[in-house]
Copies of this chain bind each other. A is one copy, B any other.
Amino acid sequence: MSDLPKSIRITEEGPREGFQIEPGPIPTQRKLDLIDALANSGLKHIQITSFVNPKKVPGMADAEQLVTDLKPVEGVHYHGLWLNEKGLQRALASGKLHLEGKVNMYPSSTFLMKNQGCTQAQYRETAGRLIQMYKGYGMLMEKGSISSAWGCNFEGGFSPSRVVELVADLIALGNEHGVSIKTVSLADTMAWATPLGIKRTVGAVREKFPDLRLSLHLHDTRGMAIANAFAGLEMGVDLFDASVAGLGGCPFGKHKGAAGNVCTEDLVLMCNEMGIETGVDLEKLIDAAQLAEDIVGHPLPGSVMRGGSLQSLRNQLH
């Protein structure tokens, strides 16, 4: 009937995405409480902070303090985000994080010009320098990503063949710099994907690059994230970014922008009930989602945190 994977690996993005967007300030210890709750639920990859300009993103000004105070749970990989070399150096200096190099490609030349002020050719040179930089720091460098792979608000929708082209270029760029791209994240950054679009683009990329591992990063701005995740699972995708309680967007409050990633506990419930291993204790994750809502102080869009797990209902029956 489909190609569902036996297990998936989730990278939790809630703490970083969520606390970045909140007006705050959120005490560092409260952030750590959530990070600990997530680690104790069984999530093995958690993005916990951004090393960005504290003047531009005040909510992330405590990045170093947060990592200093973090008491790592064994076996959990704590990730951080950076946007430039200075941020990377701060992330490296923090000492406890799992840091890997990654290069992005952008289907939209309009977006590149507006956002980064460069052409595709110029951007490609920048990306090459990034790879060299990661190599210089001795970091693992085998990941790439395609931003807005299904469409963007500057150019509209992108065809599967356009994405295949970019993935090919990403691999070529890696080869030119002596690195082998093994995993590519396809990001639905601006929520243009539908489940059928997921199947077509993932299918096209897999057909061309059968050995490449694919990851999905799915924003829920148009309510499609969980259906898109299911379509990805049906195509055998086993790496997903997700966000506890749907942190990272608050469509019910003042934030009018994009919604967060697919809700982690909703994704875990779907997988649990379809026999796909996640390694996550759903009840503990629901507790973490409720904690997230308590920390931000307003409703978050997750469903299972309100509807409850099916396993808890089954347990009550027996």
Contact present for B307 and A221 (CB under 8 Å): yes
Q: Give the residues in chain B near A299, CB-CB below 8 Å.
A: 252, 299
Contact present for B227 and A196 (CB under 8 Å): no
Complex: how many Å from CA A129 to CA B248?
54
Q: Give the residues in chain B near A231, CB-CB below 8 Å.
A: 230
Shortest beta-carbon contacts, A-B, top 3: A223-B303, A221-B307, A223-B266
Complex: how many Å from CA A194 to CA B229?
12
Q: Give the residues in chain B near A251, CB-CB below 8 Å.
A: 303, 306-307
A113 to chain B, nearest CB (A): 15
Chain A interface (Cβ < 8 Å from any Cβ of B): 1-2, 4, 151, 153-157, 191-192, 194-197, 199-200, 203, 220-224, 226-227, 229-231, 251-252, 256, 258-259, 263, 266, 269-270, 273-275, 299, 301-304, 306-308, 310, 313-314, 317
Complex: how many Å from CA A157 to CA B224?
26
A274 to chain B, nearest CB (A): 4
- What residue of chain B has the Cβ atom nearest to residue A273's Cβ? B194
Apart from A157-B314, A222-B308, A226-B226, 17 more pairs, CB < 8 Å: A1-B196, A4-B196, A156-B317, A192-B310, A194-B273, A195-B227, A195-B274, A221-B303, A221-B306, A223-B226, A223-B269, A223-B304, A224-B226, A227-B270, A230-B231, A259-B303, A301-B301
So how many copies of this chain end up in the complex? 2
Complex: how many Å from CA A202 to CA B220?
27
A274 touches which of B194, B223, B256 (Cβ 8 Å): B194
| Chain B CB within 10 Å, residue with most, of A223, A251, A256, A263 | A223
Contact present for A222 and B303 (CB under 8 Å): yes
Q: Give the residues in chain B near A155, CB-CB below 8 Å.
A: 317
Contact present for B274 and A310 (CB under 8 Å): no
Q: Give the residues in chain B near A195, CB-CB below 8 Å.
A: 227, 230, 270, 274
CB contact under 8 A between A156 and B314, given known A196-B274, A227-B226: yes
Complex: how many Å from CA A181 to CA B34?
53
A228 to chain B, nearest CB (A): 8
